[in-house]
Structure 1
Amino acid sequence: MSKLAAIVIGLIAVLHLYIAWFEIFAWTTRGPVVFSSFPVDLFEPTKAMAANQGIYNSFLAAGLIWSLFIKDTLWRRNVATCFLLFVAVAGLFGAVTVAPRIAVVQTLPAVVGLVLVWLSWGRKG
């Protein structure tokens, strides 16, 4: 995997760690600021649901981070591809069901990561 692909994967993992932190720990405090168009009284009743989503985002981050430490190049590519596809599909679903902007924030970086992983296939690094 190229260094650029690894950097992109690392940045996507950091993004998902942030999203996980936000959903698990800051939903009721930062949520009303970030999602100012939502009614404030919505955040407390949806706290458990947001935390559940945060756990899933932490799993995405964990899989991406794991892919960076796999020594076998075939497995590194396969695991990175798997988790990048998970991120891309989740982003597409979010874009359709929540806000189109999610495709730019989540799906686009995942697709860039996939392209970089596959372009670097067979190269050292």
Structure 2
Amino acid sequence: MADIDILELDALWAEFHRVVNMTSQELSAWLTAYEADESAQPLPEHDGSPTGQHVLGILHKRRADLTNDDISVMYEVVDAVGAQRDDDPGGSDPRGSDPGLRHRLMSVGHDPLKPPA
């Protein structure tokens, strides 16, 4: 288990799963489609950014199996999604947002077009 207080881990786990609103299947499909090139298709285990792949790995883990690297990525994703959403000129209407922003957010598991759970 990682070096983190259990209450802090519980809060991070909940926030990460609130922010990462795509399922592992949705994220995997997105990483494959988004990274696909017309001339060549990379191997599935190499699709997406390292962070996107790490998020995908975290989605397949139990909380007790998290590593310190997992926790760092979880904090990074929560902070990055929050910052990018705050900078979104479309504000509360994600349909008016920049498609590039949506694609960047989806690459770490957050689809701004999905309604909150």
Report the TM-score range of the alignment, normalised by the length of the smaller protein: 0.3 to 0.5
Point out which structure has higher relative CO (alpha carbons under 8 A, 6+ apart).
2
TM-score for both structures, normalised by structure 1:
0.35
Greater Rg over alpha carbons, structure: 1
User: Which has a greater percent of helix?
Assistant: 1
